[in-house]
Amino acid sequence: EAGVTQSPTHLIKTRGQQATLRCSPISGHTSVYWYQQALGLGLQFLLWYDEGEERNRGNFPPRFSGRQFPNYSSELNVNALELEDSALYLCASSLRGVTQYFGPGTRLTVL
């Protein structure tokens, strides 16, 4: 069974641009979670999607948004990129909670 996949692996953008990160959950999982791990900081919860709806949101500005598609895959969009948005973005999926399984991450670098 395939695990959680994320694309791209690496993404380099400049300040002010937009970044789109993608995540495909484990087959059968309906929830997708996004986390940010900035250098020197811990893992911070960003967004939770379940059954196509945003269920919860972390303490991030509205520049961070996303959506979940009918096939439960998800996109994370970051608008008006700032230098401090440089981080590893991790996606996780779960089936009705219990435990989350993480993807390999997308490393975003903002120059």
Q: CA 10 to CA 109: how far, in whole Å?
A: 8
Pick one of 5, 26, 38, 45: the residue that binds another protein (CB under 8 A). 45
**Contact code string over 46-85 relative to another protein, x by CB under 8 A:** --x------xx-x---------------------------
Stretch that binds another protein, among 12-20, 65-73, 76-84, 92-100 (CB under 8 A): 92-100
Minimum distance from residue 16 beta carbon to another protein (Å): 26
* Number of residues this chain uses to bind another protein (CB under 8 A): 26
Give yes or no for residue 27 binding another protein (CB under 8 A).
no
- Which residues have CB under 8 Å from 42's CB, separation 6+? none
Minimum distance from residue 97 beta carbon to another protein (Å): 3
Give yes or no for residue 24 binding another protein (CB under 8 A).
no
Burial 56-95 (b: 16+ CB within 10 A, else e): eeeebeeebbbebeeebbbbbebeebeeebbbebbbbbbe
Written as six digits, the tokens of 62 are 């509205």
